[in-house]
Structure 1
């Protein structure tokens, strides 16, 4: 049975394995009032990855916790009727972010988990960050490389030190840094997944190469495939982003949505709003 902890009422114990070893997972969910974008996908990913780590949490317990969190926090973010649209196209003014941190729970010294540990679900809420302009953003290539353990590939674990080190390289005017693996392939941003539109079709690095297989990425690929568009999951190199073969590069985030890149390092890229129209997060509220 998972123990729900509200962040404003206290944190996790000093011996919690999430703090001491990064032994856990997290999700950040874009909320509108009491509804969440891609909420079911976030919950399913958390449950699937918890099972991979051997952390026991049930679907009912997680769903109930999310419902309680929505009821608890939405009024504090100006929850309004869905009948009115905000400047970003989202109804009302109740946009906020729900964060779930699932830890294996308290444990003694040593890496071996205690079979009697009770999982902890730390829940908090925050403001929706400023959304990037539809005209696109500037990205650059991080010096920090990304190493993906095949056994942990795709999981949004609490260990994000490589992303932290890369994010330290951010400079004014740069929205995101794209990380490479040790073969010089582009893998993902510090907080986003990558999708390129090319004359050969849509290209995205495969899930097995990713530190985080984002729910937004999964949903966008599903949308494109339902439309019959060619989608290739393969390594992505700088050569794939050369114009005219490259018709656009997009950063994907379940909080920020579809973010076009108009400049990568010193190269200028074409920008269209088509993908954001096809994959409208507004349609995923639940």
Structure 2
């Protein structure tokens, strides 16, 4: 059984292990009125990664609490777009890193207004100086441990939408809050799942749409020169709130912008 907390009540326990150690997960869900984008994908990921962390929660319970939150907040936004956040921790108790047995998870639910969407004409992106490290045991997991992304995002300057991060091998892996896709003369390329810190639900949706459209997709290392090569037809960033975003300039250099990936995926992702 999960203990539910509403952020606006201000009673979340200070002994929570998510606060103390980043011992948990989170999902950030775009909602249009009362319709949540890609909600099944979000719930799939939280249940899958909770099992990886051995945090006990059942899909039916998570769905029930999500619908409770949707009902609680939807009227507040009067049919406009907003963002729902689910933060799941292992719970409270135990001093030090070692969790106590039979711990009861905590779920903190909060909401926020929808941020401004990126323009269809594309955005400016730069490279972060913060290296990205991915433990293979936790690759792809949207855990509360995001300090590298925090420090990379602190490098953002006015007019820059995102910072791209590279791993120790020099492969460009992802943005601080986005996954990466490149269209080339030979099909689409995106970094391999085991190299990615967060496997976004929008990434999953985009992969499905590309394959349904009979597009060739390669999951492989991405190098800096791949994005500036003459064979590059476009660079795109994806996340569940912004959808598909075209990169117009990268480190001050112009890139081709066709918007083709957004056309393939549709302007609004499926609600499933």
Q: Which residue of 2 aligns with 1:114?
A: 100
Note the C-alpha offset of 1:11.
4.0
Deviations 1:71-106 (A, max 9, x none): 100111112xxxxxxxxxxxxxx2000000000000
Note the C-alpha offset of 1:283.
4.4
Structure 1: gaps spanning 5 or more residues = 80-93
Q: Which residue of 1 aligns with 2:53?
A: 53
State the distance in 1 between where 2:25 and 2:262 align. 28
Asked if the contact 1:204/1:233 (under 8 Å) is kept, the reply is yes
Asked if the contact 1:106/1:117 (under 8 Å) is kept, the reply is yes
State the distance in 1 between where 2:216 and 2:206 align. 13
The secondary structure found in structure 2 opposite 1:284 is coil
Alignment of 1:1-286 (within 5 A): 1-79=1-79, 94-280=80-266, 282-286=268-272
The secondary structure found in structure 2 opposite 1:157 is coil
Note the C-alpha offset of 1:12.
2.3
User: TM-score with structure 1 length normalisation?
Assistant: 0.93
Note the C-alpha offset of 1:122.
0.3
State the distance in 2 between where 1:12 and 1:199 align. 51
Structure 1 residue ranges, 4+ long, deviating more than 4 angstroms after superposition: none
Asked if the contact 2:7/2:109 (under 8 Å) is kept, the reply is yes
Asked if the contact 2:209/2:264 (under 8 Å) is kept, the reply is yes
State the distance in 1 between where 2:186 and 2:256 align. 16
State the distance in 2 between where 1:21 and 1:41 align. 26
Structure 2: gaps spanning 5 or more residues = none
> What is the count of residue pairs matched by the alignment?
272
Asked if the contact 1:56/1:119 (under 8 Å) is kept, the reply is yes
Note the C-alpha offset of 1:278.
1.6
Query: Structure 2 vs 1, CA of residues 281 and 155 (structure 1 numbering), >3 Å: closer, same or farther?
Result: farther
User: TM-score with structure 2 length normalisation?
Assistant: 0.98
Deviations 1:95-132 (A, max 9, x none): 00000000000012111111232101100010010001
Instruction: After superposing the two structures, state which structure 1 stretch, 273-282 or 254-263, moved more.
Output: 273-282
State the distance in 1 between where 2:263 and 2:125 align. 22
**Root-mean-square deviation (CA), in Å?**
1.0
State the distance in 1 between where 2:64 and 2:146 align. 28
Note the C-alpha offset of 1:227.
1.2
